[in-house]
Amino acid sequence: MNNLDDNVKELISTCPKSIKSCSYETLDKLALNLRQKIINTVSQTGGHLASNLGSIELTIALHRVFNSPKDKIIWDVGHQAYAHKLLTGRWERFHTLRQKGGVCGYPHRDESEHDKFNVGHSSTSISATLGMALARDLNGDEYQVIGVIGDGAITAGMAFEAMNMMGYTKTHAIIILNENGISISPNVGAFGAYTNRLTNKIVYSPVFNEVRKDIHYLLDNLKDEKMLDIVKDLRLKALSVLSDEIFFETLGFAYLGPIDGHNIKAIENALEEAKNMKGPIIVHVKTIKGKGFGPAEKNPTKYHGASPFNLETGEFIKVGPSPPVYQKVFGESLVELCRENKEIVGITAAMAPGTSLDLLQEAYPHRFFDVGIAEQNAVTMAAGMACEGKIPVVAIYSTFLQRAFDQVIHDVCLQNLHVVFAMDRGGLVGDDGPTHHGTFDLSFLRLMPNLILMAPKDENELRHMLKTAVEYKGPIAIRYPRGAGTGVELEEMKTLEIGKGEIVKEVKNPDAVLIAVGRMVDNSIQAAEILEKDGKKIKVINARFIKPLDKNLIINAMNECDNVFTVEENNLPCGFGSAVLELLEENVLIEKGKTITRIGIPDEFVEWGTIPELFDITGLSPEKIAERVKQKLA
């Protein structure tokens, strides 16, 4: 606890109970130290910086008013929960944030009794809060359930579904809407504009707040049904006049706010009031994303998910020259294709910078669409555009496309529509961990009729696949990893033959054949080179396509060798290796003495760590692939 004064040291060591009785002056010191701890740590480890800096005073107030872990505090996504971790026993281990075996970058139930719900994907907190509150009431227990959600996350359909149900059941729960105007990119949509207008209109209105307090007091205490109906009617009329008819009140929520999200006392007062009210309550707080760190306040999008940076300048630390990242190659290639074909449009779900669709936004703003955190809407909207002759390229992280599983099947594949899915972050993504690894897409997409599924071995092949995808007439998906490519020369884009793989390492009379897909092609080539030192002859095939498979290439591999291995950066059940086995079984090609060995991610969730560490853990490093082949050949 270096650089902490004695008062703050004592607070940290006995949190969260100790903060309930200390002065606001000490709490301000605590907030300052929490902010500095987060900045110092993220500058070394990387992590979600700006959103966590904006929620510190809110977190302190939450732990002052409520009694965690008895009271359940549920964080949406988890981008706001670092201060919560620091106040609940993880200060000394916080330097291990997002490191293998260290503190998880998101709330994690196995890590602390204060983390009540595993999160990582957006807009789940209100549903989880509702579920816990209903279970509490059914069990006859007494505790508070509090969900914290950002103004970007609350725009998703799932959040509205949960609010609709919560307002209907009248279950007592507290939802804190943390409005900072930013999700990852600036928020889009009518609802975000509404909350911003609401804040600007009534934040300084003492009349509104007094009327609201009086009305809610009467609603909670009146017993006469007739008088209660009169007060309810007055409430709606008053709110209509004072606040442009507050949306939340019409859904059945009591509404408190807007409140300065950096004023601990003001937040505390609102939370105390909410705690003593009945039914569902929205507490609306206004915060500044990146609060307390100048560079993050000026550019919260840049510092949303920050890599290690210089504390003094805020500049990200460069690790030396590296090949272009897949995301940038995708974005630049898409812009290039848009110059040639005016029908192409790009769609993102609040991930323009992350997917590099911001390059399209800059070049052709009228052909760029950000739907906010709403993947289901993104996919079905794309289907609608495809019906009218457009070629929508939907760029979504692999792990987030899971949220639109039904829409891909029902709205795109069933109608055989020409929608291109650019699945970013396919495979293992590193320190964001199991909620963000894209290790299921090969499995869940290959089961969909009409869909073509492919994965490039390098950034140059990504360009060819993108051109192939926009020229194909039907549902088609490209899956590529996060981060730097292999450094190959980028050629002029060309179309690939659908379902056609290639031999990338040819040998005569091989001891084994490795049929790999995506990033595993390069790892397999390296594994083959390791095995050659032991005198083994290894052939390597780049499958390119997961669906349809190159039947002739695979059959030839089986005919010339007794030991065939499939290698994929995907969970093994239902994956690429399973597809190869199905192909061979259908064609009665697995003869006695011949074996197919599947190498991929085991049937489990993978923790967080660096990519080399995770490759080693899952057996996908070149060394581990070589070892697996060597054992089999022996």
Fold category of 502-633 in CATH? Rossmann fold (3.40.50)
Q: At what angle do helices 622-633 and 611-618 cross, to 10 degrees?
A: 20
pLDDT of 204 = 42
Two domains, one topology: 6-306 and 326-479: yes
Residue burial 294-326, b: 16+ Cβ < 10 Å; e: rest: ebbbeebbbbbbbbebeeeebeeeeeeeeeebb
Of 181-190, 297-306, 335-344, 599-608, the poorest mean pLDDT is in: 181-190
Model confidence over 219-259: pLDDT tens digits?
A: 677 777 777 777 767 666 665 555 544 678 878 898 888 89
In whole angstroms, what is the distance from residue 156 CA to residue 151 CA? 10
Q: What is the mean pLDDT of residues 583-588?
A: 76
Q: If pLDDT is split at 50, 70 and 90, which confidence band does 492 have?
A: very high
Phi, psi (degrees; rounded to nearest 5) at 155: -80, -10
Model confidence over 590-617: pLDDT tens digits?
A: 666 688 999 999 999 999 999 999 999 9
Which of 209-213, 221-225, 335-339: highest mean pLDDT?
A: 335-339
pLDDT, the chain, mean: 90
pLDDT of 244 = 42
pLDDT of 97 = 95
- Does residue 8 surpass a pLDDT of 80? no
Which residues form the catalytic set? 289, 375, 403
Domain 6-306, architecture per CATH: 3-Layer(aba) Sandwich (3.40)
- Does residue 629 surpass a pLDDT of 60? yes
**Structural domain boundaries of the chain?**
6-306, 326-479, 502-633
Model confidence, pTM:
0.87
Q: Provide the edge-to-edge strand list for the sheet that holds 452-454.
A: 368-370, 344-348, 391-397, 420-424, 476-479, 452-454, 545-547
Q: What is the mean pLDDT of residues 176-201?
A: 68
| Higher local confidence (pLDDT), 558 or 361 | 361
In whole angstroms, what is the distance from residue 179 CA to residue 116 CA? 23
- Taking alpha carbons only, the member of 260, 360, 305, 270 closest to residue 120 is 305
> CA 352, 489, 503: angle at the middle one, nearest 5?
105
In whole angstroms, what is the distance from residue 144 CA to residue 162 CA? 18
Looking at residue 198, its amino acid is L
In whole angstroms, what is the distance from residue 47 CA to residue 25 CA? 29
pLDDT of 245 = 44
Model confidence over 278-313: pLDDT tens digits?
A: 999 999 999 999 999 999 999 888 888 888 999 888
Q: If pLDDT is split at 50, 70 and 90, which confidence band does 203 have?
A: very low
DSSP state of 77: T
What the block records as the tokens of 526 is 């390296």
> Which residues on adjacent β-strands are paired with residue 452?
476
DSSP state of 182: B
> Which residues on adjacent β-strands are paired with residue 456?
none
> Which residues on adjacent β-strands are paired with residue 476?
420, 452
Domain 326-479, architecture per CATH: 3-Layer(aba) Sandwich (3.40)
- Does residue 190 surpass a pLDDT of 70? no
pLDDT of 194 = 61
| Higher local confidence (pLDDT), 390 or 233 | 390
Looking at residue 78, its amino acid is G
pLDDT of 438 = 96
